[in-house]
Amino acid sequence: MKHLKRSLTLPFAEASSVAVIILLIVAMLGFADATYLTIEHYRGVIPPCSIIKGCEIVLTSPYSVLFGVPVSLLGALYYLLVSLGAFIYLESKHGKGEIATHHSSILKWTLIITVFGFGMSLWFVYIQLFVLHSICTYCIGSALTSTILFITAIVMLRHSSIKQTEHMRNDSALPPELPQSI
């Protein structure tokens, strides 16, 4: 936990491109799932649940909308935001200009918002299991997707914190510069 707290205050170290690509792919899968549910909602169609029965109960419950907006649309926007953050980081990593100077901050905030997605997923899984007593396969898929994003983000933030701490230790071990003579 101390590394996580430190990672929120330290500048973000360069992230592995492989980890960011994993983040991007998983977020795109979540976007596809949430977008499908959103489209079906506006079409008035309940997607078929082939493995577990209960999609209709979950997707037509009062918990499936928030202020008249389908929760799946909010999920699609969340996954789109995570995808864009990862994509912008990858594209600007070696570029120049305003976005390139802030690419690490963009990825850091992208990783931090995965906490929100994970928290919402926990809430909706609780609602399905203990309130509605029904499971929506697509919703559980989204919950798994947001969990993978959250775990990936925690690993990346922790890795960044460790790298930054090591960098700071190495910098402090250097002898102070000698005064320049005129």
The CB density around residue 92, as the number of other CB atoms within 10 Å, is 19
- Report d(CA 46, CA 83) in Å as an integer: 27
CATH number of 15-162: 1.20.1440.130
Which amino acid does the sequence have at 26? V
Query: Can you read off the two tokens belonging to residue 75?
Result: 């999920």
Residue-by-residue pLDDT tens, the chain, 182 positions: 565 555 555 556 677 889 999 999 999 999 999 999 999 999 999 998 877 888 999 999 999 999 999 999 999 999 999 999 999 888 887 666 666 567 678 888 898 899 999 999 999 999 999 999 999 999 999 999 999 999 999 988 888 777 666 656 666 554 555 455 54
- Report d(CA 48, CA 31) in Å as an integer: 19
Predicted TM-score (pTM) of the model is 0.83
DSSP 2-65: HHHHHHHHSPPPPPPHHHHHHHHHHHHHHHHHHHHHHHHHHHT-PPP-SSSS-HHHHHTSGGGE
- Report d(CA 90, CA 140) in Å as an integer: 29
